[in-house]
Amino acid sequence: MSLKSLLVCLLCGASLVCAHPHVFVDAKIKVVFDNAGFSAVKNHWVYDEIYSSAMMSSGDADGDGKISESENKWFCETILGPLKEFNYYNYVQSGSVFLKAQGLPNFKASFKNGRLILDFDVKFTSPADPSGGADYTMLVIAVADPSNYIQVTADMENADVDGPESFDIEFFNDGLQGLTLFRAFRSDIEGLYLRFKKK
């Protein structure tokens, strides 16, 4: 491949036609509810060894192979800071829109067995019907980079949900085929489908 062709492909990062993953992430999620309704997605991301090594060489300022509290901030700003406008790759469909992420609390970076690990919450707000009506609130959650620069393999089959006893919550994993908002996503990406209501 010529240098010109390579540059064209790199510049087309948002196009699935010429995008190839450069970073690989294994992700697990837990959906969290508060007393009002859906409130956050807890993310556990484990990066590939090459990316992990590169980031540690830049972010591990004291070179001790661990991530200190002061270094933790650098990892958050460097890795997740640029993803803010992309909802930190946490896409939550509610009706005909994606919910907007409202914050990124509880960030923690660590380095184990040669892999960089990020644990963080992405905050959302989607309350249940306060009247306790019969209708469920329905959501679909996907964790993915639509540009495919980062290949996020989200283990939706083992996703979990944590909510108060006052909620009736049902969930399952499945493909995203036919969902308009997810047309730009790879066909093999699974979502977590859930519905909830006050008991």
C-alpha 153/C-alpha 28 separation (Å) is 9
Whether 168 has a pLDDT exceeding 90, the answer reads yes
Proportion of the chain above pLDDT 70, given as a percent: 88
Place of tokens 């009506």: 133
Q: What is the pLDDT of residue 19?
A: 60
Q: What is the pLDDT of residue 49?
A: 98
**CATH number where 184 lies:** 2.70.170
C-alpha 46/C-alpha 56 separation (Å) is 13
Between 80-94, 129-143, 153-167, the lowest mean confidence (pLDDT) is in: 129-143
Cβ neighbours of residue 23 closer than 8 Å, sequence gap 6 or more: 47, 48, 51, 149, 150, 151
The domain tally of the chain equals: 1
Q: Is residue 7 part of a domain?
A: no
User: In the numeric block, which tokens belong to residue 86?
Assistant: 């992309």
Q: What is the pLDDT of residue 1?
A: 40
In the chain, where does DSSP find H-type helix?
3-11, 49-59, 69-75
Whether the model clears a pTM of 0.75, i.e. scores above it, the answer is yes
What residue numbers bound the domain in which 68 lies? 21-198
Q: What is the pLDDT of residue 35?
A: 93
Q: CA 123 from chain center: how many Å?
A: 11
Whether 169 has a pLDDT exceeding 80, the answer reads yes
Q: Is residue 46 part of a domain?
A: yes
Place of tokens 């036609």: 17
C-alpha 79/C-alpha 65 separation (Å) is 18
User: In the numeric block, which tokens belong to residue 98?
Assistant: 């994606």
Confidence of residue 17 (pLDDT cuts 50, 70, 90): very low
Q: What is the pLDDT of residue 87?
A: 96
Whether 12 has a pLDDT exceeding 90, the answer reads no
In contact, 43 and 76? CB cutoff 8 Å: no
* Averaged confidence pLDDT in the chain: 90
Torsion angle of alpha carbons 94, 33, 79, 110, nearest 10°?
-150
Q: Is residue 8 part of a domain?
A: no
The arithmetic mean of pLDDT across residues 139-158, rounded, is 96
Q: Is residue 6 part of a domain?
A: no
Q: Is residue 15 part of a domain?
A: no
